[in-house]
Amino acid sequence: MFSTFQTLYWPRLKRNRMALCGAAIVAGMFFLAILAPLVGKDPAAIDIAHRLSPPSWEAWLGTDDLGRDVLSRILYGARISLLVGFVAVGIATLIGIVIGALAGYYGRWIDSLLMRLVDIMLCFPTFFLILAVIAFLDPSIWNIMIIIGLTGWMGVARLVRAEFLSLRERDFVLAATALGASDLRIIFRHILPNALSPVLVSATLGVAGAILTESALSFLGIGVQPPTPSWRNMLLAGKQTLGSAWWLSAFPGFAILITVLGYNLLGEGLRDALDPRLGDS
């Protein structure tokens, strides 16, 4: 599969400069999050003597109302945002693949039943459904990730179902059936690897959506709880001093903007590269 990507899809992807820019942003955020203990300071270290200090050589992005280094908190907040994005999308993708595969492969009443479940889930506004669930649970980071994942699988299920409906009548599937392969082997060994291209694109774009959802929840005070540093918690704290300490809101907001933009650019580039209808044009 890697060799196929390298020979068929990589030439298309590398011609898309915006996709490469998005990949560079995503990779940069990963490295900054991993190297946060080496690059930044203790994000919880309080220094009242230097509270609300503007950007300077001592604190490149300034300090907050408790004297904590804003740059260090942004770096550690990247860990939270990326963790939420990947775990939530991982849960949603896994559920969507299973439901979409079963619906697309077996068809008939199984397809009808599972697609009606998808329709029912789509009837609920996702954000308000998340708020309703969180009202009964503690607003911890793990609960946030699980809830976002459990309410975001419907699009993946539809994509996988459509791919399975197209692939299950192909010759290689009929040959595997004639050789006596089990349904699970046909689904996961023969059909699923050929249906993952749109899922990969959806997952990449879904990370950006999960980050925005977590940010919105944290801004409402029901997401990641202080003193754990997260970008939206920093925005919420900076709202009180927006007129006098602009850096408390500007830099976390820019971090969210550039991260979401990076994933969106990468997702669009992957979609163009993996779409066979575009050919080599």
Statement: residue 23 has pLDDT above 80: yes
Q: Residue 176 corresponds to which amino acid?
A: A
CA-nearest of 92, 95, 47, 40 to 68 is 47
Write out pLDDT tens, residues 83-114: 888 899 999 999 999 999 999 998 888 999 99
Write out pLDDT tens, residues 24-45: 998 998 898 888 888 778 887 8
The pLDDT > 90 percentage for the chain reads: 11
Which residues fall within 8 angstroms of residue 230, CB to CB, at 6 or more apart?
Answer: 77, 80, 81, 214, 215, 218, 223, 224
Output the pLDDT for position 2.
46
* pTM, full prediction: 0.82
How far apart, in whole angstroms, are the C-alpha atoms of residue 102 and residue 172? 18
Query: In the predicted model, what is the mean pLDDT of the chain?
Result: 82
CB contact at 8 A, 103 and 157: yes
CB contact at 8 A, 255 and 32: no
Confidence class for position 276, pLDDT limits 50, 70, 90: low
Structural domains in the chain, CATH included, are: 35-44+59-278 (1.10.3720.10)
Which residues fall within 8 angstroms of residue 201, CB to CB, at 6 or more apart?
Answer: 267, 270, 271, 274
